[in-house]
Amino acid sequence: MVSSYDYLSSHKIRSTDIRVAVIDLFLNSNQAISKNELEEKLPDLDRITLYRTLKTFEDKGLIHKVVNSSNKVKYALCIDACTDHDHHHDDRHIHFECSKCEKTICIDEVPLPQISLPAEYIVNKIQLSVEGICQDCQ
């Protein structure tokens, strides 16, 4: 298990107490986390600082946004490639959303289907969501 300090420094991000506290939550979670959940878990942190930290992490390719079917924004940890490729997000994976408990999970082990658009379109991002029932809710 990597420490949060090591994780940040290996991604060339200066550690601050707040950054460590926030990335800690992501490193210890196997599912995407909403802003509300982050606020609940870090009650001492003011919202603006939290949002700024999330923005920094997103810009640096540490976390990516996941929007679920009810338009709720969550954040999930990126694969290392996002930081390696000049912070260009490369999270090409399926997001599974449980329709009972609403948890959202990044599924990295399943390859995305090949999607070819007509030549006049430039694809920046492919988001694929799958809804169903998670293991805990079955």
> Residues in the site for Zn ion, rule: CB under 5 A?
64, 76, 78, 82, 89, 91, 98, 100-101, 106, 134, 137
Q: Which is nearer to Zn ion, 3 or 99 (CB)?
A: 99
In whole angstroms, the minimum distance from the beta carbon of 130 to Zn ion comes to: 12
- Token readout for 61 is 């390719």
Helix or strand holding residue 26 (H, E): helix 17-27
Considering the complex, state which of residue 4 and residue 64 has its C-beta at the smaller distance from Zn ion.
64
Closest CA to 20 of 57, 65, 60: 57
7, 60 contact by CB (below 8 A):
no
For residue 44, the minimal CB distance to Zn ion (Å) is 28
Cβ distance to Zn ion smaller for residue 43 or 111: 111
Residues 6 or more apart whose CB falls under 8 angstroms from that of 25 comprise 33, 38, 41, 42
Structure tokens that stand for 58 in this block: 């997103």
Nearer to Zn ion, 6 or 59 (CB): 59
Report in angstroms how near the CB of residue 13 gets to Zn ion at its nearest: 14
Q: How far is the CB of 100 from Zn ion (least distance, A)?
A: 5
